[in-house]
């Protein structure tokens, strides 16, 4: 079992769907787009419900939000490296569309099914985050989704097992770890591998894994 780490909520972000203009650098068709990806930091305490953080909304509710993807977390520990690799100095909390920016935890420290207590909220890790085209368009980098996947610095989604108040600066403490072998880092490696079919089957059997990931693994 990996050493148990604890983290800290550095920042909390929420967003509302808005229409943005054209971006020929990423989208050759220059179509306007609607997204809640551009999230803004909020102070605390904020209320966290079973399906989202109060004040946060999704433009595409087919692929985002819901019980299994109520809250998106991303590691603050990655930002310095991304700034160096991408040459984008303004990368900061919320840059990857995340609701919670957390220091002290990365994909290698967090496992599927982990329950973490932060403030009054009890979270459960449901799946790695699969970056979509909106991340690339936000930063006008057509290769960014591939870079995120290849780096393994994806972030992860959280269920909310117990609703409550959350404040920036709250510690994040591990309560239970039923699947220590299935870190977010390992789940990413298996999911995106062309082979490793047996491991895909094993990952799909993890009870705490989201239904969407189970379906994708078995599909």
In this predicted model, what pLDDT tens digit does every residue of 130-154 receive, in sequence order? 999 889 988 989 999 999 999 999 9
Residue 2: pLDDT over 50: no
Question: What are the structural domain ranges in the chain?
Answer: 7-218
DSSP the chain: -PPP--EEEEEEEE---EEE---TTT-TT---EEES-S-EEE-S-EEE-SS-BTT---S-TTTS-SSTTSEEEEEGGGHHHHHHHH--TT--TTTTS-SEEEES--TTT-BTT-EEEETTEEEEEEEE----HHHHHHTT-TTHHHHHHHHT---EEEEEEE-EEE-TT-EEEEEE-S-TT-BHHHHHHHHH-SS-HHHHHHHHT-TTS-HHHHHHHH-
Band (1; pLDDT cuts 50, 70, 90) = very low
Residue 196: pLDDT over 50: yes
Band (195; pLDDT cuts 50, 70, 90) = confident
Domain 7-218 classification at class level: mainly beta
pTM for the model stands at 0.91
């Amino acid at each position: 079992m990996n050493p148990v780490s604890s983290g800290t909520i550095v920042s909390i972000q929420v967003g509302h769907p808005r229409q943005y203009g054209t971006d020929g650098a990423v989208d050759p068709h220059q179509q306007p787009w609607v997204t809640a990806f551009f999230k803004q930091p909020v102070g605390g305490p904020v209320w966290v419900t079973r399906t989202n953080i109060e004040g946060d909304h999704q433009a595409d509710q087919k692929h985002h939000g819901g019980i299994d993807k109520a809250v998106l977390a991303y590691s603050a520990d990655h930002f310095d490296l991304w700034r160096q690799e991408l040459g984008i100095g303004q990368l900061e909390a919320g840059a990857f569309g995340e609701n919670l920016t957390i220091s002290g935890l990365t994909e290698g420290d967090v496992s599927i099914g982990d329950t973490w207590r932060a403030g009054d909220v009890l979270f459960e890790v449901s799946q790695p985050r699969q970056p979509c085209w909106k991340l690339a368009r936000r930063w006008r980098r057509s290769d960014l989704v591939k870079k995120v996947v290849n780096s393994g610095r994806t972030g992860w989604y959280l269920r909310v097992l117990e609703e409550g108040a959350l404040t920036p600066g709250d510690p994040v403490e591990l309560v239970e770890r039923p699947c220590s072998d299935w870190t977010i880092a390992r789940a990413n490696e298996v999911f995106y591998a062309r082979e490793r079919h047996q491991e895909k089957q094993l990952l799909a059997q993890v009870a705490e894994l989201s239904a969407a990931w189970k379906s994708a693994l078995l599909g």
